[in-house]
């Protein structure tokens, strides 16, 4: 066996520079292009943050109007894409639908490979605009409801809530707290340096492939429960526990069996996820505005305390822990929590694709062989 040092899971490996975001586990901070994420969530819309990630600066008022116009006018899906979504099995995972629909849209690109930075940005704008339409259509078809066409007079979050729930009196669209909470979640999910899905997108970009392929790879990586799929798993956990009075015992038993509790821990943050305080406050405010939701808050607090008190490294929640119940309270079906994450992370992925393309080097690590020694093929 070789004595080569192996960085299992690439843990601790610094693979490249990035100017998109800075994750600092020592100070629990996350900066997008230099701005603290909690300040962006408090003061900006998701669209301003998308612009920031792609262009490096927040937009002026005129730039924002232009950016919104470009995005809002390309939300519609053509009939062929609608047909692809409608033809997918009703019981497949929604991430599979998204992956297929994006692949399908990519086949219409007149260029087979990435041509320029502007080509990447144009594709990013198309994806930022159309992914919510695909997700909303998929949500509704599974509920036996018809397609609601996008509106180009509404912002990103409002338009998505409209396409999923319409504008009836119970729609989250008519609840300012829901709109605010959802928009904040989009900002917090937008970008997080070299996480698995972003790295997958960068690997594909490094081969000089095309943006659509990079995004499809990223979607595949995000689907996993150790990454984006954790927000779904959190809500399944909470539903399984059901009664806050059972939460403490449930978590202790899980830890005793050395099983993972989803929504806790992080590869980089070991002293707390910088995004959690903002999302936790938004989730608790949302719950206070939805009668009957108090039990999720109670369970949230108990689980967080039990995990902290009963692990040697005081494991804390990650962003998926408050986001899961927040989306549930708003009325989203659990399998759609990860596609909703994609609606946001497409901004970070695109920013990294631009960065990789601008300063490319093929990503191709080495491996240490630990298989059989050379031997002879048996002959008859
Ligand atoms: N539940 C229970 N135990 C956990 C845990 C969790 N969520 N996260 C970490 N641990 C345990 C590990 O099993 C390990 O135990 P060991 O020392 O006995 O082997 C110890 O805590 C240290 O783990 P750590 O090195 O900090 O984790 P990691 O960097 O290898 O993994 C994650 C990070 C995110 C993959 C891991 O925390 C996890 O699987 N979390 C649940 C999934 C999740 O919420 N993912 C979303 C991430 S944003």
Per residue in 318-347, pLDDT (tens digit) is 999 999 999 999 999 999 999 999 999 999
* Predicted confidence (pLDDT) per residue in 353-379, tens digit: 999 999 999 999 999 999 999 999 999
Q: Which domains does the chain have, with CATH numbers?
A: 21-225+335-358 (1.10.580.10), 229-329 (1.10.230.10)
Ligand 1 environment, Cβ below 6 A: 226, 230, 260-267, 313, 315, 318, 320
Can you tell me the mean pLDDT for 68-84? 95
Cβ atoms of residues 155 and 100 within 8 Å = no
Active site residue 266: yes
Mean pLDDT, the chain, integer = 96
List alpha helices for 143-293, DSSP H: 156-165, 176-189, 196-206, 211-223, 230-241, 244-256, 276-288
Distance from C-alpha of 56 to C-alpha of 34, rounded to nearest angstrom: 9
Tokens linked to 134: 């695909």
> What residue's CA is closest to ligand 1, atom 4?
260
275: nearest Cα among 156, 353, 192: 192
Catalytic residue among 138, 266, 273, 352: 266
What local confidence, expressed as pLDDT, does residue 380 receive? 85
In the chain, % helix, strand, coil (3-state, to 5) comes to: 60, 5, 40
What local confidence, expressed as pLDDT, does residue 84 receive? 98
- Residues near 221 by beta carbon (within 8 Å), at least 6 away in sequence: 196, 197, 199, 200, 227
Cβ atoms of residues 265 and 278 within 8 Å = no
What is the number of the ligand 1 atom nearest to the C-alpha of 228?
46
| Angle 34-38-39 from CA coordinates, rounded to 5° | 65
* Predicted confidence (pLDDT) per residue in 224-251, tens digit: 988 888 999 999 999 999 999 999 999 9
CA of 254 to the centre of ligand 1 (A): 13
* Predicted confidence (pLDDT) per residue in 176-230, tens digit: 999 999 999 999 999 999 999 999 999 999 999 999 999 999 999 999 988 888 9
Can you tell me the mean pLDDT for 83-89? 98
> What residue's CA is closest to ligand 1, atom 9?
265
Distance from C-alpha of 200 to C-alpha of 365, rounded to nearest angstrom: 13
Tokens linked to 3: 């004595």
What local confidence, expressed as pLDDT, does residue 268 receive? 86
What is the number of the ligand 1 atom nearest to the C-alpha of 267?
29
Could you give the strand order of the β-sheet that contains 29-32, starting from the edge strand earlier in sequence?
21-24, 29-32, 35-36
Distance from C-alpha of 200 to C-alpha of 10, rounded to nearest angstrom: 13
pLDDT at 134 exceeding the cut of 60: yes
- Residues near 354 by beta carbon (within 8 Å), at least 6 away in sequence: 54, 117, 120, 121
What local confidence, expressed as pLDDT, does residue 1 receive? 52
125-to-68, 71, 113, 337, 347 alpha-carbon distances in Å = 10, 6, 17, 22, 9
* Predicted confidence (pLDDT) per residue in 17-66, tens digit: 999 999 988 888 899 999 999 999 999 999 999 999 999 999 999 999 99
CA of 46 to the centre of ligand 1 (A): 29
Residue 122: exposure state from Cβ atoms within 10 A (0-12, 13-18, ≥19): middle
Residue 169: exposure state from Cβ atoms within 10 A (0-12, 13-18, ≥19): exposed
Residue 263, CB-side half-sphere exposure with 13 Å CA sphere: 24
> What residue's CA is closest to ligand 1, atom 35?
226
Can you tell me the mean pLDDT for 161-167? 97
Tokens linked to 169: 């009196």
Distance from C-alpha of 109 to C-alpha of 115, rounded to nearest angstrom: 11
Sign of the dihedral defined by the CA atoms of residues 8, 14, 19, 24, in that order: positive
Distance from C-alpha of 203 to C-alpha of 197, rounded to nearest angstrom: 10
CA of 188 to the centre of ligand 1 (A): 21
Reduced to 3 states, what is the DSSP secondary structure of residue 218?
A: helix
DSSP state of 377: P
pLDDT at 166 exceeding the cut of 90: yes
Residue 232: exposure state from Cβ atoms within 10 A (0-12, 13-18, ≥19): buried
Active site residue 352: no
Reduced to 3 states, what is the DSSP secondary structure of residue 96?
A: helix
pLDDT at 293 exceeding the cut of 60: yes
Catalytic residue among 138, 210, 273, 320: 320
CA of 236 to the centre of ligand 1 (A): 18
């Amino acid at each position: 066996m070789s004595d080569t040092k192996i960085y299992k899971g690439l843990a601790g490996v610094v693979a490249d520079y990035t100017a998109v975001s800075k994750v600092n586990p020592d100070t629990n901070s996350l900066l997008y292009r230099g701005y603290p994420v909690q300040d962006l969530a408090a003061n900006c819309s998701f669209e301003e943050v998308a612009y920031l990630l792609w262009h490096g600066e927040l937009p002026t008022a005129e730039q924002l109007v232009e950016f919104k116009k470009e995005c809002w006018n390309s939300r519609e899906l053509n009939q062929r894409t609608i047909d692809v979504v409608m033809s997918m099995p009703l019981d497949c995972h929604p991430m599979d639908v998204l992956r297929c629909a994006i692949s399908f849209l990519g086949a219409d690109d007149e260029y087979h490979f990435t041509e320029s930075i502007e080509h990447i940005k144009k594709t990013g704008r198309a994806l930022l605009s159309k992914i919510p339409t695909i997700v909303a259509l998929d949500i509704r078809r599974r509920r036996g409801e018809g397609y609601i066409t996008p509106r180009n007079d509404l912002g990103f979050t409002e338009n998505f809530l409209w396409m999923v729930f319409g504008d009836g009196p119970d729609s989250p669209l008519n609840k300012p707290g829901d709109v605010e909470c959802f928009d904040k979640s989009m900002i917090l999910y937008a970008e997080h340096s070299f996480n698995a899905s972003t790295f997958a997108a960068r690997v594909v970009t490094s081969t000089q492939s095309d943006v659509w392929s990079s995004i499809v790879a990223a979607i595949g990586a995000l689907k996993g429960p150790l990454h984006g799929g954790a927000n779904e798993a959190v809500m399944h956990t909470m539903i399984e526990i059901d009664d806050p009075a059972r939460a403490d015992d449930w978590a202790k038993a899980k830890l005793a069996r050395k099983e993972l509790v989803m929504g806790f821990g992080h590869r980089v943050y070991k002293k707390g996820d910088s995004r959690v305080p903002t999302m936790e406050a938004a989730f608790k405010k949302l719950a206070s505005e939805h009668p009957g939701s108090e039990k999720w808050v109670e369970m949230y607090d108990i689980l967080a305390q039990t995990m902290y008190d009963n692990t040697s490294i005081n494991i804390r929640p990650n962003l998926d822990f408050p986001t899961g119940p927040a989306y549930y309270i708003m009325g989203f079906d659990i399998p759609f929590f990860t596609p909703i994450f994609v609606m946001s992370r497409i901004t970070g992925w695109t920013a990294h694709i631009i960065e990789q393309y601008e300063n490319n080097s093929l990503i191709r690590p080495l491996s240490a062989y630990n298989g059989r020694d050379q031997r002879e093929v048996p002959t008859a």
